[in-house]
């Protein structure tokens, strides 16, 4: 065997073997959280018709009730549909203390202006990527703007946004 072939084998064998060895990594240990007891979700706005007494339209909104706290997750595409469905489901907009917006699309934020006209006494949590003018309109309506960054945020005990 020639010296160049031996040299190639001598260099290749450790490289091949190194690729076969599994690197040990520390596994991330999940943090303990309490089970979600007493949590109730009510879909208020959706594009899929369900209950014939409710209106459907393009968008989404959900009421999250837990431990005496009411959170409105998104506000659908328009206030009239959201208000109608809240009335039909006997949800008082003034009972909601937190609004959490997922992203800046009209089908998830379109009902916010009408909602704030009825209940401005809320914290509105939203990603920092929302336009400054949108955030200003929330403040001008009398609500408190809370920005969510890239890291998980504990909105209330055992209630997180990621």
Residue 90 lies in a domain: yes
User: What whole-number distance in Å separates Cα of residue 99 and Cα of residue 143?
Assistant: 10
Residue 53 lies in a domain: yes
Q: Are 57 and 76 in contact (CB under 8 A)?
A: yes
Residue 123 lies in a domain: yes
HEC readout, the chain: CCHHHHHHHHHHHHHHHHHHCCCCCCCCCCCCCCCCCCEEEEEEEECCCCCCCCCCCCCEEEEEEECCEEEEECCCCCHHHHHHHHHHCCCCHHHCCEEECCCCCHHHHCCHHHHHHHCCCCEEEEECCCCHHHHHHHHHCCCEEEEECCCCEEEECCEEEC
Residue 122 belongs to domain with CATH number: 3.60.15.10
Pick the closest to residue 70 from 154, 159, 148 (CA basis).
159
Largest distance between two CA atoms of the chain: 88
Looking at residue 45, its pLDDT comes to 98
Residue 92 lies in a domain: yes
pTM of the model: 0.77
Residue 19 lies in a domain: no
Structural domain total, the chain: 1
Q: Are 159 and 66 in contact (CB under 8 A)?
A: yes
Residue 21 lies in a domain: no
Range of the domain at 87: 38-152
Kindly state the tokens that stand for 104: 């800046």
> Would you give per-residue pLDDT tens digits along the chain (162 residues)?
555 445 444 445 554 455 555 555 555 555 666 666 789 999 999 999 889 999 999 999 999 999 889 999 999 999 999 999 999 999 999 999 999 999 999 999 999 999 999 999 999 999 999 999 999 999 999 999 999 999 999 999 888 888
Residue 161 lies in a domain: no
Q: How many CA atoms lie within 13 A of 12 on its CB side?
A: 6
Q: Are 59 and 76 in contact (CB under 8 A)?
A: yes
Looking at residue 15, its pLDDT comes to 46
Residue 22 lies in a domain: no
Looking at residue 68, its pLDDT comes to 87
């Amino acid at each position: 065997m020639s010296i160049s072939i031996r040299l190639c084998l001598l260099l290749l064998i450790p490289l091949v073997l190194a690729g076969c060895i599994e690197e040990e990594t520390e596994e991330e240990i999940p943090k303990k959280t309490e089970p979600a007891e007493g949590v109730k979700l009510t879909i208020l706005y959706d594009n899929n018709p369900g209950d014939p007494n409710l209106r459907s339209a393009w968008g989404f909104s959900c009421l999250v009730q837990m431990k005496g706290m009411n959170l409105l997750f998104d506000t659908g595409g328009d206030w009239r549909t959201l208000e109608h469905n809240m009335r039909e489901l006997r949800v008082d907009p003034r009972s909601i203390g937190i609004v959490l917006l997922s992203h800046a699309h009209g089908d998830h934020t379109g009902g916010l202006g009408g909602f704030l006209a009825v209940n401005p006494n809320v914290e509105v949590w939203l990603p920092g990527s929302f336009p400054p003018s949108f955030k200003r309109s929330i403040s001008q309506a009398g609500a408190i703007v809370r920005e969510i960054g890239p890291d998980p945020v504990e909105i209330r005990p055992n209630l997180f946004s990621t």
